[in-house]
A and B are shown apart, each in its own frame.
Chain A
Amino acid sequence: MNLAKALRASGPLLGLAAVWGLFAVLAPHGNFTSWANTELMLLQTAVVGTAAVGATWIIVSGGIDLSVGANIALSAMVGALVLRDGHGFWWAALATVCTGALVGWLIGALVVGALPRVVLTVGFATAVVWAAHGMGSLWAGCFALACGALVWRWSARIRWSLPLSPFIVTLGLWGALRGAAKGLGNNQPIYPERDETLLSLMKPGGSLPPGVWVLLAVALVASLLLRRSVFGRHVTALGSSRETARLCGVDLQRTELGVYVLACTCAGIAALLQLSYLSMGDPTTGQGYELKAIAAAVIGGASLAGGEGSIFGAVLGALIMTVVDNGCTKLQFDNWVQEIVTGGIIVAAVALDRWRHSREVSRAARRVP
């Protein structure tokens, strides 16, 4: 049994080894196994991998986020804007990550049913930004944030609630956030001043770039939180059985709101890495990342029904997809081949997982008298 469990946990790792080994054998002359290429693959994984960590949290809680890609674009645009206005790297990084988290708050608040409060808060904050934009982007944003927080607190007395499904909320935001990102730059990318600290995040050469360390750190913290904190266990219980969680006194609203804020903070961090990678704010970037993040989580063992998922599995899942992309390029396959192979891997991973699952269940059923 313990062997089976270990096998299950290391499934994505074995998958990665198999895919990597396959390409290492098939493409011996394409320098697939070189350090430079490995580093490149890790760098290419950093953005999607970080987003996949957040996606895993949401999937474990029984939800879904289709707006990750648009969120990354918007957050990166905000970061680029702050950088262009000359506030330096740290303010830009903070603004990027905070924008991601704010989007998470927006999704979470809509999902738990605080629609009226959201409308009030967002409306008021937008008005403040409008009135105060002469202060410069950063200060106007901070001011609006403070005012919005006050309105949010004050509006807690509004009891009327209308819970919405996360699929619908994030499908709406998938378009809305992209639109906001484009509006922020008047349909143009934002080119900030060259900032060495920002660029060094994702610069290859020498040892592992900081961006990869960021991914590993985010994954480590997220994994510890999910497995070892009360909040993380509540999230798992929520996704596993909402009714049981409610019966056992889990605060469903706070937990659900917390999940989206936390997961979208990961998306904000992914946006920072993307900003560094592109060295500009591009409103059209990150398209399709939402599905890549979900695919990575699913390859890593998450169940879309909720209650199940592994953070490191998701990171490995993202890495598997990068390896396939990279390996196919080295073999000089066309793009369409990569896409078919990646699609096949997703379905195969889930089918394998379900099969193992059904075997476990039937074994358990035989044991019970």
Chain B
Amino acid sequence: MRDEPSRLCVRALHKRFGATQALAGVDLDVRCGEVHALVGENGAGKSTLLKALAGVHQPDSGSMELDGRMHLPDGPAAARAAGLAIIHQELALAPHLTIGENLFLGREPRRGPFVDRRAQRAAARAALAKAGRAHLDPDRLLRSLPPADRQLVEIARALAHHARVLVLDEPTSSLTEDDIAPLLARLRALARTGVAVLYVSHVFEELFAVADRYTVLRDGRTVASGCMADIDHDRLIAAMVGRDLEQVYHRSPATPAEVVLELDCVAGVRLPREATLSVRRGEIVGLAGLVGAGRTELLRCVFGLDEVVAGRLRVLAHVGGRSPRERWRQGVGLLSEDRKQEGLSQAQSLADNLWLPVLSRQACRGVLSGGALARSAGPWLERLGVRCRGAHQTVAELSGGNQQKVALARLLAAGCDVLLLDEPTRGIDVGSKAEIYRAIDELAHARGAAVLMVSSYLPELLGMCDRIAVVAQGKVLPARPAATWTEHTLLTAMATGREREVVA
């Protein structure tokens, strides 16, 4: 295998977005017939690298070669035509079409103006056989397939289009445990036929089961690469972490008071499976976990957006499942991870968004006044440093960071005592991050609010939180003081679902 030629070869790739250096020298070699693991923390530059490979972003400097030829696609279609297929977490398949139609969507075999159905069916059979799903009928509707089969249909599509490099981005995040092993076996079999597979995942068991070699990214550059056989969990994690904590975190001394949020074996419809946790007034508790571990679902269950099917839940003095409407009244607020769709109503004004949960408190004898709403919104927006021309401006006109500050200001304006924050700093600039950190710190440590915060960015959790709990496969492990965690131990617990004592 070591003698196999390099299929995909990336050298000294650089990419800058504004002030952020997303890629600062990435080297990557993926050989014919191997499964190559690409690892790195959130923000290490994995997704930027994938987007460069797919032609979504053009690199500033450096080179990419595919089978010795320059690979500089100007868009996803060009990348696919060159033989590089990327399979994302969210599959790009049309549920109302058949498997065969999905496989050849956009490049149907034709006979005159009509689709040559027989040729399409035959080609679909061949591609499905290569993906190990020969028993699937190409005429079946895609929506009748379970998620694991859909994933393989997408792989079959890549093969039908003669992909020589197959990139899988967190392919197992939507699969059950029983479906994972067959997928990995299939990938190994595919690699033996000469396809190069680049496998992006956080789950170390999968990486060690499937990959031949690895490349580790940190802060936008390649920091290590080699054979999977020559490395173990601990050394892989050690290569991923080792960043300096940025000095943007405010943390005042915490004086935790009484417990205001208590979960006892809470379970949702699918996730979380078992959540036991308590949060006190005046403290920030962090939830760490992989994508799909059930962190977001946990917050949504507490807030009444998702159904609680088992366990006991107590918020302040209130017991039992409640609706979002009642939660706001009780002084609980949730910051959504999906700012664009759910968090804010993009076409409405800042004032409308800010006051929506507590509109009736703003009404004077049932009458609202637009001017008064905007005036009373002003101080809250100022407090979080929202840069805008006034509270009458529509949300869509603001930058991501300022939008997020508006969403957080809503919780402040509603006077929340319990704050559920889901990825509060996702996709925003460093300046806005610092302001949001300051606001959260002040809320918890000066005003005595209880904060439960989900983040995929570990330095943030370590820098902000008083205690951190790890969520793995729908279960919440016991929370421990932040000082007893390191990025290393957090990552281990997230990936394995077990808390290992630190072996010095």
Contact = CB atoms under 8 A, between A and B. Distances in A.
Given A233-B359, A361-B396, A246 B366 contact: no
A339 interface: no
Given A241-B346, A247-B305, A364-B396, A228 B367 contact: yes
A233 B356 contact: yes
B334 A247 contact: yes
B348 A228 contact: no
Interface in B281-326: 305, 323-326
Interface string B140-171: 00000000000000000000000000000000
A240 B325 contact: no
B399 A369 contact: yes
A96 B344 CA distance: 41
Contacts, number: 90
Contacts of A237: 345, 348, 352, 356
Contacts of B410: 248
| Size bracket of the B interface | 35 or more
A367 interface: yes
A249 B370 contact: no
B357 A307 contact: no
B370 A227 contact: yes
Interface stretch (B116-124, B196-204, B335-343): B335-343
Contacts of B325: 249-251
Given A228-B367, A249-B325, A368-B398, A233 B352 contact: yes
A84 B177 CA distance: 73
Contact of B348 (A230, A240, A249, A364): A240
B43 to A, nearest CB: 20
Contacts of A307: 345, 347-348
Interface string A247-273: 111110000000000000000000000
Contact of B336 (A229, A240, A247): A247
B227 interface: no
A248 B324 contact: yes
Interface string B391-410: 00010111100000000001
A38 interface: no
Contacts of A1: 389
A236 B370 CA distance: 14
B392 to A, nearest CB: 9
A178 interface: no
Contact of B359 (A234, A246, A368): A234
B368 A230 contact: yes
A245 interface: yes
A223 to B, nearest CB: 13
B190 to A, nearest CB: 39
B396 A240 contact: no
Contacts of A361: 396
A101 B345 CA distance: 30
Contacts of B342: 241, 243-244, 246-247
Contact of B356 (A248, A364, A369): A248
Residue with the highest number of chain B CB atoms closer than 10 Å, among A1, A233, A247: A247
Given A240-B348, A368-B397, A229 B356 contact: no
Contacts of A248: 324, 328, 356-357, 410
Contact of B368 (A233, A243, A249): A233
A240 to B, nearest CB: 4
A290 interface: no
A229 B366 contact: yes
A332 to B, nearest CB: 45
A58 B499 CA distance: 54
B237 to A, nearest CB: 36
Contact of B323 (A233, A249, A364): A249
B327 interface: yes
B363 A230 contact: yes
Nearest to B341: A243
Contacts of B176: none
Interface in B368-425: 368-370, 389, 394, 396-399, 410
A308 interface: yes
B368 A241 contact: no
Contact of B324 (A233, A240, A249): A249
B399 A368 contact: yes
Interface in A328-369: 361, 364, 367-369
Contacts of B370: 227
A364 B352 CA distance: 19
A361 B398 CA distance: 11
Nearest to B357: A248
B360 interface: yes
A139 to B, nearest CB: 35
Contacts of B347: 240-241, 307-308
A249 B328 contact: yes
A361 B338 CA distance: 21
Nearest to A234: B359
Contacts of B348: 236-237, 240-241, 307
A249 B327 contact: yes
- Between A229, A244, A250, the greatest number of chain B beta carbons within 10 A of the residue's beta carbon is seen for A244
A243 B326 CA distance: 17
B263 to A, nearest CB: 20
A65 B381 CA distance: 38
A230 B370 CA distance: 11
A227 B363 CA distance: 12
Nearest to A240: B345
A250 B355 CA distance: 12
A108 B363 CA distance: 26
- Residue in A237, A241, A250, A364 whose Cβ sees the most chain B Cβ within 10 Å: A241
B246 to A, nearest CB: 21
9 contacts: A241-B344, A241-B346, A245-B345, A245-B356, A246-B305, A247-B305, A251-B325, A364-B396, A368-B397
Interface of B: 18, 305, 323-329, 334, 336, 338, 341-348, 352-353, 356-357, 359-360, 363, 366-370, 389, 394, 396-399, 410
Interface of A: 1, 227-230, 233-234, 236-237, 240-241, 243-251, 307-308, 361, 364, 367-369
Given A247-B305, A250-B325, 7 more contacts: A228-B367, A237-B345, A243-B338, A247-B342, A248-B324, A364-B396, A369-B399
Closest 8 CB pairs of A and B: A249-B325, A364-B397, A243-B342, A241-B345, A248-B356, A249-B328, A248-B357, A244-B345
